Amino acid sequence: MSWLITFAAPTTSRRGARGPGRPRRWRQVVIAVAMLVLVGAAFAISGPGHSTQGPSARRSPPRVSDPLAEAGAQWPVFGGTMDNTRFSALDQVNASNARRLGVAWSKDLGPYQTLDESFPLMIGRTLYVTTSTDEVMAFDAVTGKQLWRYAPQVDFSLSRGVGGYGVTVNRGVAVSGSRIFVLTFDDHLQSLSRATGERLWSAQVVSPHTGAYETMAPTVWHGLVFVGSSGSEDGVRGSVAAYDANTGKQVWRFWTVPAAGHGWVKRGQGGGTVYMPPTVDARTGLLYVGTSSPSPTIVGTRRPGADLYSSSILALDARAGRLVWYHQEVAHDLWDYDAESPVVVFDARVRGHTVRAVAEAGKSGYLFVLDARTGKDLFPPRPFVKEHHTPPTRKGVLECPGSLGGAQYGPDAYSPQSHDLYVVALNMCMTLKVTGTVGGYKEFGGTAVPQGVRQTGSISAFDTDTGRFRWHYEVPWPMIGGATATAGGLVLAGDTHGLLYAFDAHTGKVLWKANLGLAFGSAPIVYQVHGTEYIAAAIGGSPLSANFKWGNVGARVVVLKLGGEPIRPYQPPGA
């Protein structure tokens, strides 16, 4: 059954905007005036296991823009390449042999380590993984031997966000030359020696007493380390900043929303935080970030207007921190529809021309594909989950997707072979109810209750040549960790129950799947050493997995290869 409801609403894209303090005038808000433009039905959604696909795939030589990606043997940055495409040029593991995947090695990260959203890196022959307590661990990528472990002393007493229940995860490190960069929960950016894990310097990037906390992996480029922060749910004022990689000194900071008492921001409000690693287009020097929703999250009466630059994609001059353009995905957001997953940069072929493009699949459940230079839509935003929106009320209204998405923080993947973007999703509608102006959960403004017996997931392939989804596959459990594509014609994605899937990139057919025992809170990486291709994942789940009991949670690194050991049922430490 198809559940697509169309709205006509403006999206906002401006070049050279002067700042967030001068929003457009809007009428008194009762009904959200800004939503998303839908044109046409994208696909039909049926039960779990169903795969729909469009025209047969084309194959063309991969258009690779990053020399490291051409080498393909390593995974040196968060998204595989600086463009965040999560594409590996390796093809030893492919559609014809993926069923032979087995375990090369695995390591539990500690009996009390719970949850893991770490996105690993592999450089040289070393695999770098983080734990939820902000430790950085280096392993031999072939044998799994631990080379070193860095355990910072972090003040986790400030893990009182999200309604007081706390969330501590660490999504990985960044590497530049001989140095590693990691963010700690209590808002320190630290530089470590890549060889030994010895700490070189530490800098506080935001004050934890504002409610801000760090979960992201930083991004490094040309001697600058780019960081955002988490905490919009606690009214934190969002920003993205650049730090000198040698000294830890702040070079610039761009605030994504006005200061309290300015523009639309009243005392105690904020939002627009940047949860995931910024993306740098090395060709242009533009830095792309996605921002979260404004606060109070579902109560809009205290923040009339568009609430710039919340729920937006921003393009900044990476060297200067100057805003070049913004594209607000959801103006005056009333649904917690963060644009939080990392922006992907790629070359799209549009009407016979090659266009540098950016894409982001948000919690709104829409995929946005924009001109990377201007922020203008290259295609109309396309839904990849069921959509139904009305402004929240005190009686409660059904919203699809709910305020968890849509797409969560997990990154999309782009294959230059198939020209497809691969988007994982959580299918969950919720009833949103306003409980008071700022009563209850102070900066959320209400409650959000899941509807339906159980939540499911999906993965969809978006054809960047036609601007439409080409195939869509429903899975029994939500997918929130992101996807990875390979030149072997595979799309790899894990779900929150612990299943790792290898999909045929062109058809969406499941070529292989296995239950690795712990929920996926991140996406796999692919690397090669001495002619053997490996697929590695840090598994253990996200707080969502834990709270909804979608699967077992813990913390473990699992590395697969062709002809590896059979995958056995998972035994938790001490069992």
Partner 1 sequence: MPGKRSPLRYGLSGGGIVVAVLIGLAAAGALSSGGSRPSATGTHQVAKPAAGAVAVHGSPGWSPKTTDYFGLYRLTWSNNPALAQSGQLTLFMRRVTKPKPQTLPSGVISLHGRDGTNVFYLTHLNHVGNRNGAVVNIGNYNYQVAGHLQILDLALSHHRLRASLATDHGPTIDISFSRYSPAFNP
CB of 141 to partner 1, least distance (A): 20
234 or 504: whose CB is closer to partner 1? 234
137 or 345: whose CB is closer to partner 1? 137
Phi, psi (5° rounding) for residue 21? -85, 0
In the chain, how many H helices and how many E strands?
2, 40
293 or 460: whose CB is closer to partner 1? 293
170 or 464: whose CB is closer to partner 1? 170
Helix (H, G, I), strand (E, B) or coil at 289: strand
Of all residues in the chain, what percent are helix, strand and coil, respectively (each to 5)? 5, 40, 60
The strand pairing partners of 556, in sequence order, are: 108, 539
Please report how many Cα atoms fall inside a 13 Å half-sphere around the Cα of residue 26, on the Cβ side.
22
* Number of Cβ atoms within 10 Å of the Cβ of 4: 17
401 or 508: whose CB is closer to partner 1? 401
- Across 442-570, the runs of DSSP E, i.e. the strands, are 446-450, 456-463, 468-475, 483-486, 490-494, 499-504, 510-515, 525-529, 532-539, 556-562
CB of 163 to partner 1, least distance (A): 5
Helix (H, G, I), strand (E, B) or coil at 178: coil
49 or 572: whose CB is closer to partner 1? 572
According to the 3-state scheme, what is the secondary structure of 203-241?
Answer: EECCCHHHCCECCCCCEEECCEEEECEECHHHCCECEEE
CA 482 to the chain's CA centroid: 7
CB of 343 to partner 1, least distance (A): 17
CB of 230 to partner 1, least distance (A): 8
Separation of alpha carbons 256 and 74, rounded Å = 34
**Element holding 548 (H helix, E strand):** helix 543-548
CB of 530 to partner 1, least distance (A): 30
CB of 384 to partner 1, least distance (A): 18
- Across 78-207, the runs of DSSP E, i.e. the strands, are 87-88, 101-108, 121-123, 126-130, 136-140, 146-150, 174-176, 179-183, 188-193, 199-204
CB of 31 to partner 1, least distance (A): 22
Q: Are 492 and 459 in contact (CB under 8 A)?
A: no
CB of 195 to partner 1, least distance (A): 20
- Across 54-100, the runs of DSSP E, i.e. the strands, are 87-88
399 or 412: whose CB is closer to partner 1? 399
Q: Are 119 and 538 in contact (CB under 8 A)?
A: yes
19 or 440: whose CB is closer to partner 1? 440
166 or 223: whose CB is closer to partner 1? 166
Helix (H, G, I), strand (E, B) or coil at 387: coil
CB of 147 to partner 1, least distance (A): 14
Separation of alpha carbons 36 and 365, rounded Å = 10
CB of 246 to partner 1, least distance (A): 27
86 or 107: whose CB is closer to partner 1? 107
CB of 373 to partner 1, least distance (A): 30
152 or 223: whose CB is closer to partner 1? 152
Separation of alpha carbons 565 and 66, rounded Å = 34
The strand pairing partners of 136, in sequence order, are: 130, 150
233 or 533: whose CB is closer to partner 1? 233
CB of 43 to partner 1, least distance (A): 26
